[in-house]
Amino acid sequence: MALYATPIFDAAAGGSVPALSMPWIATLAYTFQLYFDFSGYSDMATRAGGMFGIKLPQNFNSPYKAVNITEFWRRWHITLSRFYATSLHSLGGIARSRARRSSLMVRCCSAGCGTAPDGILLSGVACTDFSGHSSRMASAPFPQGFSR
């Protein structure tokens, strides 16, 4: 995937204006590169642990099959999200509301994307999407006969 994405990003960084389809191709290639890297690393760690008798929990569950940002997040960062969720629950006073806890959790997880401007931007976008989806779901009417 890097063979497709890198030359397009390098050309744009060098000042050249790519054709309209090129940034889309580069973005999709980079997205799939991240997906396959993370999926592969998770699978290798799980299988390598199994070879030594260590059972590791699942950490990646096809996030691109998610239907919303909340499900995507739960499928991508399974163990990290679980760690932050249990840690933030114990911090009660700092993050009392569910929305604040969720926002803080997303910011902490996104910090792994780096402190460069693009990592901070990604963290902000993820926080906004996650918080917006959580608040919409909390206020949306739920179909009769179903429970949350």
* Chain segment 41-85, per-residue pLDDT in tens: 888 988 999 999 998 888 888 888 888 877 887 787 787 777 766
52 and 72 fall within a common domain: no
Our CA dihedral for 112, 33, 13, 23, rounded to 10 degrees, sits at: -120
92 and 128 belong to one structural domain: yes
134 φ, ψ to 5°? -60, -45
Looking at the structure of the chain, the number of domains it has is: 2
Is residue 145 a part of any domain in this protein? no
Question: Are 83 and 21 within one domain?
Answer: no
Lookup result for tokens 């806890």: 101
Looking at the structure, tell me whether residues 77 and 122 fall in a common domain.
Answer: yes
Q: What is the extent of the structural domain holding 102?
A: 66-139
For residues 27 and 146, what is the distance between their CA atoms, to the nearest angstrom?
39
For 126-138, the pLDDT digits (tens) are: 667 666 666 666 5
3-state per-residue secondary structure call for 11-54? HHHCCCCCCCHHHHHHHHHHHHHHHHHHHHHHHHHHHHHHHCCC
